[in-house]
C-alpha cells in the first residue's frame, strides 16, 4: 500500500478529530462511547482547567501595569527606563502571534500535546525565575517578556483546540467563561504584586509568583486533553491534514480581521498606563493598583456576557455593542476623569466592553464557517485556526502598543491646554484608545453597506 493511500485512509479520522464542530461529529456507536459535549462532569472539568490556565498564564502579563510603575521608579532601572512598556507587551504579543503555529502543531501532532505543554510550563517558570535575577531592562524583556511568552504559548494554546471539541452548541459561552480567567486573575494579581513589590522588591515577587504558578499549573497537565479519540501515527506514517485557509480570502474575514487589529492597537494602552495616570492625578499606590483590578473584574462579567450574547445575536451587532461601550468609556469617562470616582467608573466600563471584545471570536468563527460551506453544505474551516489568527491579529496591537504609547506620550501637545484627562499629559492616549475602540466595530458598518 502506498503512502498516499495510507494518508487517504487517515484523513477522515483526522478531520473528525481536529475540526471540533458538529459538521464532523462522530456518529453511531463511536459517538455513544464519547463523553457528552456541552454538559457533563468531564466537559465542565475541562472548562475549569481552561479557566485556570487562562487565569495564571494571561493574568500575570495583563497586570504588568503594576510592574511598569515599579520598574519606572526603581533605582536599578532609572538610567535604563527606555523600553519598559515592551516587557509586558512582548509577553502577550508572543502568545498572540504564536497562536497559529502552536494550534497548527497541536492539531497535527495531538499525541505530543501533553509533553508539548510540559515544556511550555517549564519555560514559563524559567522565564519568571531568570527575570528575578535581571539587572537591566533588556534582560527583563528577554525573560519576563520573551521566555515567558514562549512558555505560555506552548502551555496554553492547545486548550483552544480541545475546548472546541468539548463545547459545540454553547461555544460562545464556554470561550467567554474561559477568557474570564484573565479578568479574575487580574483582580487579584495587581493587588498581590503591589504588596510584594513594595515590601519585598521585584526579585522576591517574581519568585513567589513562579512558585504559585507551578503549584496551580502542574496538575492541570493531567486534564489537558480533548474529547475525541487521539489518532496516533502507525507503521511510520505521520498524521497529515490539509489545512484549508481559503476563508482568509473572503471579504468577511478581511473586514472582521481589520477591526480586530485596530481594536488591539488601543486595547492594551489603558491597562498599561492606568496606574501611572492615577498616580499622576494624586491617587495613592493602593488606589492606583485598584484601577487595574477593576478593569479585570469587569472583564470577567464582560467576556461571559458577550460570550453568551454571540450565541444568540448576529455577530456584527455584538461587536458594535462592545465597540460603542468602550468608545464612550474612553472619551466621556476617562477623558473627564481627574478624581477617584470617575476613574473607577471608567475602569469598570472599559473592562466590561473592551474586555468583552475577544469573546466575539467564537461568533466570528461561526459566521465565517457558515459563509464558507461547500456545495454539500460542509464547512472545512477550522475553528481553532480562525481563533488563532484573530489572536495573532490582536497580538499586533500588543507588541506595537508599548513603543507606540511612548511616542504618543512624547508627542502630546495638549498638556495644560485642555480640560480633564486630555490636559494631563495623557490626552493622546485617551484619544487614541477611544478612536481604536470605535474603529474596532467597522464590520457593523460594512454589513449595513452590503460589503460583507
The angle subtended at Cα 365 by Cα 364 and Cα 366, nearest 5°, is 90
Query: What's the sign of the alpha-carbon dihedral 160, 53, 166, 308?
Result: negative
In this structure, the number of other CB atoms found within 10 A of the CB of residue 12 comes to 10
Q: Is 233 helix (H, G, I), strand (E, B) or coil?
A: coil
234-238 contact pairs (CB < 8 A, 24+):
235/6, 237/3, 237/6, 237/7, 237/10
Query: What's the sign of the alpha-carbon dihedral 311, 313, 315, 321?
Result: negative
CB 338 within 8 A of CB 222: no
Task: Give the pTM.
Answer: 0.78
Q: Is 429 helix (H, G, I), strand (E, B) or coil?
A: helix
Q: Chunked in runs of 10, what are the mean pLDDT values of the chain (452 residues)?
A: 36 35 50 73 90 91 83 82 79 86 76 79 96 92 94 89 82 85 81 89 95 92 78 51 78 95 92 86 82 86 90 92 97 91 94 93 89 78 86 84 85 81 90 96 92 78
Please tell me the distance from the alpha carbon of residue 257 to that of residue 254, in angstroms, as a whole number: 5
Query: What's the sign of the alpha-carbon dihedral 417, 290, 88, 105?
Result: negative
- CATH for the stretch 3-447: 1.20.1250.20
Instruction: State residue 403's pLDDT score.
Output: 82
Sequential DSSP letters for 323-372:
HHHHHHIIIIIGGG--SHHHHHHHHHHHHHHHHHGGGGHHHHHHHHHHHT
Instruction: State residue 14's pLDDT score.
Output: 34
Instruction: State residue 31's pLDDT score.
Output: 52
Amino acid at each position: 500500500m502506498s503512502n498516499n493511500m495510507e494518508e487517504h485512509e487517515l484523513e477522515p479520522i483526522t478531520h473528525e478529530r481536529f475540526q471540533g464542530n458538529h459538521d464532523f461529529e462522530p456518529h453511531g456507536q463511536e459517538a455513544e462511547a464519547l463523553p457528552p459535549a456541552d454538559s457533563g462532569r468531564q466537559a465542565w472539568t475541562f472548562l475549569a482547567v481552561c479557566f485556570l490556565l487562562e487565569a495564571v498564564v494571561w493574568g500575570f502579563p495583563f497586570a504588568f501595569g503594576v510592574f511598569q510603575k515599579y520598574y519606572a521608579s526603581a533605582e536599578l532601572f532609572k538610567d535604563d527606563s527606555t523600553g519598559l512598556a515592551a516587557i509586558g507587551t512582548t509577553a502577550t504579543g508572543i502568545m498572540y502571534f504564536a497562536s497559529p503555529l502552536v494550534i497548527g502543531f497541536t492539531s497535527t501532532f495531538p499525541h505530543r500535546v501533553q509533553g508539548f505543554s510540559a515544556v511550555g510550563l517549564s519555560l514559563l517558570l524559567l522565564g519568571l525565575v531568570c527575570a528575578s535575577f535581571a539587572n537591566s531592562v533588556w534582560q527583563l524583556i528577554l525573560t519576563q517578556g520573551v521566555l515567558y511568552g514562549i512558555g505560555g504559548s506552548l502551555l496554553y494554546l492547545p486548550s483552544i483546540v480541545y475546548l472546541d471539541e468539548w463545547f459545540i452548541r454553547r461555544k460562545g459561552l464556554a470561550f467567554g467563561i474561559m477568557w474570564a480567567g484573565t479578568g479574575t486573575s487580574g483582580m487579584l494579581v495587581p493587588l498581590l504584586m503591589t504588596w510584594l513589590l513594595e515590601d519585598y522588591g521585584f526579585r522576591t515577587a517574581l519568585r513567589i509568583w513562579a512558585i504559585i504558578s507551578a503549584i496551580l499549573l502542574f496538575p492541570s497537565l493531567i486534564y489537558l486533553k480533548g474529547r475525541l479519540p487521539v489518532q496516533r501515527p502507525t507503521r511510520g506514517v505521520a498524521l497529515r491534514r490539509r489545512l484549508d485557509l481559503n476563508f482568509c480570502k473572503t471579504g468577511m474575514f478581511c473586514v472582521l480581521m481589520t477591526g480586530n487589529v485596530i481594536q488591539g492597537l488601543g486595547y492594551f494602552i489603558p491597562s498599561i498606563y492606568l496606574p501611572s495616570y492615577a498616580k499622576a492625578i494624586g491617587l495613592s499606590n493602593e488606589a492606583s493598583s485598584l484601577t487595574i483590578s477593576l478593569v479585570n473584574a469587569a472583564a470577567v462579567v464582560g467576556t461571559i456576557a458577550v460570550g453568551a450574547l454571540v450565541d444568540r445575536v448576529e455577530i456584527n451587532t455584538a461587536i458594535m455593542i462592545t465597540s460603542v461601550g468602550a468608545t464612550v468609556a474612553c472619551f466621556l469617562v476617562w477623558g473627564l476623569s481627574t478624581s477617584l470616582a470617575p476613574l473607577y467608573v471608567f475602569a469598570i466600563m472599559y473592562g466590561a466592553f473592551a474586555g468583552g471584545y475577544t469573546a466575539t471570536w467564537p461568533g466570528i468563527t461561526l459566521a465565517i464557517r457558515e459563509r464558507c460551506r461547500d456545495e454539500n453544505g460542509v464547512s472545512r474551516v477550522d475553528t481553532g485556526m480562525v481563533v488563532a489568527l484573530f489572536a495573532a491579529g490582536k497580538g499586533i496591537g500588543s507588541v506595537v502598543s508599548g513603543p507606540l504609547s511612548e511616542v504618543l506620550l512624547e508627542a502630546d501637545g495638549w498638556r495644560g491646554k485642555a480640560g480633564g484627562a486630555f490636559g494631563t499629559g495623557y490626552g493622546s492616549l485617551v484619544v487614541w484608545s477611544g478612536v481604536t475602540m470605535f474603529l474596532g466595530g467597522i464590520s457593523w458598518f460594512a454589513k449595513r453597506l452590503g460589503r460583507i
